[in-house]
Structure 1
Amino acid sequence: MAQVLEFRLPDLGEGLTEAEIVRWLVEVGDVVAVDQPVVEVETAKAMVDVPCPYAGVVTARFGEEGSELPVGSPLITVAVGAPASDPDAQSEGSGNVLVGYGTSQAPARRRRVRREQQVPVPVNGRSAPPEVVEGPVPVISPLVRRLARENGLDLRELTGSGPEGLILRADVEYALRAAASQGLPAPAPAPAPVQAPAGAPRTPAASPASTPAETRVPLKGVRGAVADKLSRSRSEIPDATCWVDADATELMRARAAMNATGGPKISLLALLARICTAALARFPELNSTVDTAAREIVRLDAVHLGFAAQTERGLVVPVVKDAHARDAESLSADFARLTEAARTGTLTPAELTGGTFTLNNYGVFGVDGSTPIINHPEAAMLGVGRIIPKPWVHEGELAVRQVVQLSLTFDHRVCDGGTAGGFLRYVADCVEQPAVLLRTL
């Protein structure tokens, strides 16, 4: 006789207390194996798959896609004790409920029981258009659902281009463009009726013209975590910013020469990171944090370099650990790997925490300068604008050079303007004359 076991949302680490259900990977009636991912959730740190520690048949799911669940709340129930005809099923639990820790066994093939089907309904002996049976629509993320909802688009009318019919953001955008090209604006979603309390006097509904249009976006997930961290940074850190223009022509030539020799390509971000670590070795005050309770400045030996990455889910800051001990080739590889993980939402909590200094390349947005907010609890952030041709006095003559604006936002508690200016001037000197770096290699 099968035993029904309840699997609760596990502790995902890093002090996380809740997660948003992005996509269910199993349905009621599916056969699951030990450590098979059953749901994709989004935390304030990353998008992760949650594996089930039991093998059996899914008997219930708790929570709709787009809803939030606190850690420890029921996630699914599994009937353990598979029939003999299913040799891949197991009755023991692995106990490995934390994301990223599973057994070495391959997951068994699972039986899918579609809750959403298109059933032809005969009318007068003829086939009628298919009737959609109510059930969950496979959508890649809540962002896609919101995009469709805000534009009045019924997701059940779309055919997803992702695996197993998963509806992607590109599918929604294509449908909206198609409607616009035909001059058929997407229908606006109907507002939900508001029920008045029993016995309350009825009041006439306000006319649409008198109701101001607004869109409310919940501050949760990555966006909520970023909002909390930026607010804390602004309230706790007395920051200041200094900036300088630099001639990056020689740095661009040096990079081109490196990449012309063959082998893995060296990214500009990696060269800037190497310059940052060299500058922090000279000005260690900026690789620190402030212990407000003890009223102490804590200087850190290792440089764990964060870099700002903009994604569809919001701003994230992946961290390259021990950047001070890495060469440009190794840094390039890690930047590429972490950027791809940020784009796909697969960064782990460990890859998003522990930074000691942040490099912000906002030049990719086509802007020259910025005064960014420090990534709490760090003490400084280097900003890099776009590199563009500008008139510049070079060797006593006016010439067109590749110019970049560099800015340093720093915690004024850890150092004064002289230290901050010295750090930024050294960075600018290395950008203008990369050979300066040879002294610290």
Structure 2
Amino acid sequence: MAQVLEFKLPDLGEGLTEAEIVRWLVSVGDVVAVDQPVVEVETAKAMVEVPCPYGGVVTARYGEEGTELPVGAPLLTVAVGASEPSDASDTAPAPATAATPRAAAPAPAAAPAPGPTPARASASASASDEASGNVLVGYGTGAPAARRRRVRRAPLSASPAAPALVREPVNGAAGPVPVVSPLVRRLAREHGVDLRGLTGTGRDGLILRCDVEQAIHRGATQAPSAVSAPAPATAPAPVMAPTASPAPAPAPAAASPSARPGVTRVPLRGVRGAVADKLTRSRREIPDATCWVDADATELLAARRAMNAAGGAKISLLAVFARICTAALARHPELNSTVDLAAREIVRLPEVHLGFAAQTDRGLVVPVVRDAQARSAESLSAEFARLTEAGRSGTLTPGELTGGTFTLNNYGVFGVDGSTPIINHPEAAMLGIGRIVPKPWVHEGELAVRQVVQLSLTFDHRVCDGGTAGGFLRYVADCVEQPAVLLRTL
């Protein structure tokens, strides 16, 4: 007899609490194998395929394409041990085509534990061959061989495994609220809920979406009672005949902006929503400043042409600037850091994980090149090309979009000279590169036409002062004008 197992949206990692169904890869009645991808979802980080840990016949799907589901919400049910589709009335509690409304979706709880849920536990003994347990982050089935265990990391300040981190005390605001998801912060902000007054039910006091929704519900139930509270008992007032009075004319209602013809509303979710939340947080928390300088890039372009003419892998201009950046950060490590508000410290980081802004059809993404300080120009070129192609095809993983320590932004590809970019929170700085164009320039005492580029550095003023930022930018400009300067640091 077939056993019907329910597969829920698993923990997608990186603090993500919900995902949007982009495309179903199976239909009701299809036979699926263990670990076969069954649905494509888009999170605030990337688009991923979700594999099903069970093998059998799909009996129901929950949620149509375009529906947002929280982590832990049912995705589909599978009849394990069945060779053909079962009767829907016996296998599925709801029609296969029924979409799960976002408002009715269950609130996400803490990250699912590696162990089986009660529904899976009852079937694990007899269906261990049909379940792999290998479903993304921290989510498993009843298969004992695939159990996963999460290790809680010690705080950075107490970790003996990271001696290269340098911490400095910094003056700032009080510690941050224990909230990971920007969606939870947005929900609280939209309903006027003070997160500092909530006690999180998640691990280590983490505030979850369900905590905010409960606070919203409590506020909604308390408001009517305060208005309708009975007045204290007093002597009855004399009865008077009602006096007819004309009702005031209703004020004309202002037309809603969305009611006007031609208005289009675009939901802020997925990658676009994640970018909006991150940029808003950066503007709110980071006191940034920008300095810029024009540099003669004629010699740099000539050096790059010579390197590419020598044979071997082609070196991109972005890779050359990345190599200059890593050398500049070695001389000015203050800019390769982050601010720990809870500990009131500046944390200087030993590795340079270099992010770079890439425009795709799905919006702006910032892939990260790991350990850029240890890579050659050829290696940087290859990694930039790989991550850019993955960004355009929508196959970047959450790990490739997080963990950056410094960002390079080549907005010159859009044909503009300068910009004051917003820092990619929680980093401390971003270098912007404008277009390289021929301009009149004084070269060796004479007016000449040279290839000129404008460089801008936006930095967190908490981690350093203008002298450090100016020294970093001046060194970058010197390497652009005289590439031989870079050789002294290699």
TM range (shorter): 0.7 to 0.9
For residues 325-336 of structure 1, the aligned pairs below 5 Å read: 325-336=374-385
Q: Is the 8 A contact 2:40 2:49 kept in 1?
A: yes
Match of 1:20 in 2: 20
CA shift for structure 1 position 213: 3.2
Q: State the partner residue of 1:380.
A: 429
Separation in 2, partners of 1:400, 1:347: 42
Q: Deviations over 1:24-50 (max 9, x none)?
A: 111111111111111111000001000
| 2:384 partner SS | helix
Aligned to 1:43: 43
Residue 377 of structure 1 aligns to a residue whose secondary structure is: coil
| Number of the residue aligned with 1:112 | none
TM-score (norm 1): 0.73
Please say if 1:279 is aligned against 2:333: no
Q: What amino acid maps onto 1:382 in structure 2? A: L
User: What does 1:47-196 align with in structure 2 at a 5 Å threshold?
Assistant: 47-83=47-83, 91-98=129-136
SS at the partner of 1:4? strand
| Structure 2, unaligned runs of 5 or more | 85-126, 141-254
**Long gaps (5+) in structure 1:** 103-205
SS in 2 for 1:376: coil
Alignment match of 2:442 (pick from 393, 404, 420): 393
**RMSD value, Cα:** 1.9
Alignment partner of 2:305 out of 235, 253, 256: 256
Report if the CA contact (8 A) 1:61-1:76 is conserved: yes
For the pair 1:434 / 2:472, whether they are aligned, the reply is no
Residue identity in the other structure for 2:36: Q
Sequence identity percentage: 88
Distance change (3 Å), C-alpha of 1:404 and 1:14: same
CA distance in 1, matches of 2:338, 2:137: 30
Q: Using the TM superposition, give the Cα deviation of residue 15 of structure 1 relative to its aligned residue in structure 2, in angstroms.
A: 0.3
- Indicate conservation of the 8 Å contact 1:34/1:90, yes or no: no
Q: Aligned in 2, Cα 1:241/1:338: closer, same or farther, shift over 3 Å?
A: same
Contact (CA 8 Å) 2:56, 2:83: kept in 1 or not? Answer: no
- Please say if residues 40 and 49 of structure 1, whose CA atoms lie closer than 8 Å, have aligned partners that are also in contact: yes
Q: Quote the Cα distance in structure 1 between the aligned partners of 2:446 and 2:422.
A: 38
Question: What letter is aligned with 1:16?
Answer: L
Does residue 213 (structure 1) correspond to residue 239 (structure 2)? The answer is no
1:316 and 2:365 aligned:
yes
Aligned residues: 331
What is the rounded CA distance, in whole Å, between the counterparts of 1:343 and 1:213 in structure 2? 30
The higher radius of gyration belongs to 2
- Aligned pair in 2 of structure 1 residues 100, 71: CA closer, same or farther (>3 Å)? closer
1:424 to 462, 467, 473: 473
Indicate the residue corresponding to 1:5 in structure 2: 5
Which whole-Å deviations, capped at 9, do the CAs of 1:232-276 have from their partners, x for residues lacking one?
A: 110111000000001111111111111111111101111100000
Task: Report deviation, 1:211.
Answer: 3.3
Aligned to 1:342: 391
Question: What TM-score do you get using the length of structure 2 for normalisation?
Answer: 0.66
- Give the whole-Å Cα distance in 2 for the aligned partners of 1:301 and 1:83: 56
Alpha-carbon contact 2:54-2:132 (below 8 Å) kept: yes
CA distance in 1, matches of 2:473, 2:346: 21
CA-CA distance at 1:328 after TM superposition: 0.4
Distance 1:389 1:101 in 2: 56
Q: 2:344 corresponds to which letter in structure 1?
A: R
**Distance across 2 between alignment mates of 1:32 and 1:6:** 14
Q: Is the 8 A contact 1:55 1:90 kept in 2?
A: no
**CA positional deviation for 1:310:** 1.0
1:316 partner amino acid: V
Secondary structure in structure 1 of the residue aligned to 2:267: coil
1:86-123 per-position Cα deviation (integer Å, ceiling 9, x unaligned): xxx99520001117999xxxxxxxxxxxxxxxxxxxxx
What's the CA shift string for 1:304-346, capped at 9, x where partnerless?
1000111111111100011011110000110000001111111
Alignment-mate amino acid for residue 211 of structure 1: R
Amino acid across the alignment from 2:428: A
Structure 2 residue aligned with 1:369, among 393, 418, 423?
418
* CA distance in structure 2 between the aligned counterparts of 1:379 and 1:212, rounded to whole angstroms: 44
